[in-house]
Amino acid sequence: MLKDHYIFSTGRLQRKDNTLYFVDAEGKKKSLPIEQIENLHIFGQVDVNSALLNLLAQYGVCLHFYNYHDYYVGTFYPREKNVSGYTVVQQSVHYLNREKRLYLARSFLYGGIHHMLRNLRRHKEKTEEIIRAIEKEAAKLEDTAKIPELMGIEGRIRQEYYQAFNVMLKPEFAFEKRTKRPPTDPLNALISFGNSRMYTEILSEMYKTMLDPTISFLHEPSSKRFSLSLDLAEIFKPLLVDTLIASLVNNRVITLKHFDEMEGIVFLNEEGRKKFLAEWEKKLETTVQHRTLKRKVSYRYFIRLECYKLIKHFIGDTLYKPLKAWW
């Protein structure tokens, strides 16, 4: 089974013949099984060269880079092997046609709202007022005819949703509001770290399909970002990231000791990142009986299935319906 590998230390990634090695700052060498790697995530200061990149490209391994404060910096994205000009053309058509684009933008939001409400209903006695507020905002989606207006509704819904975190989580993780750049408290740091992992996971699964990750529908496409991963993240963040955060905090797997602060920026320290990522991998490999495929499917594979559903929608095969967890 292919797995993600995470590197936190300073050092160098290098290739020797067809083997991948990590050499740390003290010169200690560790071999990494390239045949078993799906993605490499680099959190430390790591040098790479073209020979290494050629090896990663041969095996289709994506290399994701993060800076000191865990912000996603970019990805080495190997040459695409699963390409279809027809699919990309049809994907572009759905962006250029206003009604087609609005349908998909709304769909991503409906999927995300379903999972937000699913989380809130687990604490219904404390969140009833917030649930009603979100349902009231969600009722406006169908009558909204402009993307900026949809984004405005999404922003108000998420503002309401984040208020509930103070009653769903341990009191030491209470926060006033969502702050992204930079996160100013432990809960914001957790959300930012988890969301960043979500974006790269979606990008990695998208790479295995014929989708163009730069052509998006809810988030405006722009240069230098894979905006379609942001669209799909609307569905998966409350389903995967937020539930994992609740589990880590409420079960005291992650506590305040797992955070550092520098110049007003709060971020997970190395021990905290390792704990989060270990549970993140477990979450992605958790399986659910798929009611259509009639077999167990991992959360990671649900992301790829969502990509396949989009492709079928673009080529006129099956109307896209967003994932709404039934379990």
CATH of domain 3-76: 3.100.10.20
- Helix/strand/coil for 246: helix
Q: Residue 154, annotated ligand binder?
A: yes
What is the model's pLDDT at position 93?
Answer: 97
How far is the C-alpha of 191 from the C-alpha of 199, rounded, in Å? 12
What is the model's pLDDT at position 262?
Answer: 86
How far is the C-alpha of 245 from the C-alpha of 280, rounded, in Å? 10
Identity at 207, one-letter amino acid code: Y
Domain locations along the chain: 3-76, 85-314
Q: Residue 128, annotated ligand binder?
A: no
What is the model's pLDDT at position 129?
Answer: 95
CATH of domain 85-314: 1.20.120.920
Mean pLDDT, contiguous 10-residue spans, the chain (327 residues): 85 87 88 88 89 89 83 78 86 97 98 98 93 97 94 95 93 86 90 94 92 95 84 98 97 95 88 95 95 94 97 97 95
What is the model's pLDDT at position 80?
Answer: 67
What is the model's pLDDT at position 156?
Answer: 96
DSSP codes joined into one string, 203-226: HHHHHTSS--TT--SSSPP-TTS-
Q: Residue 135, annotated ligand binder?
A: no
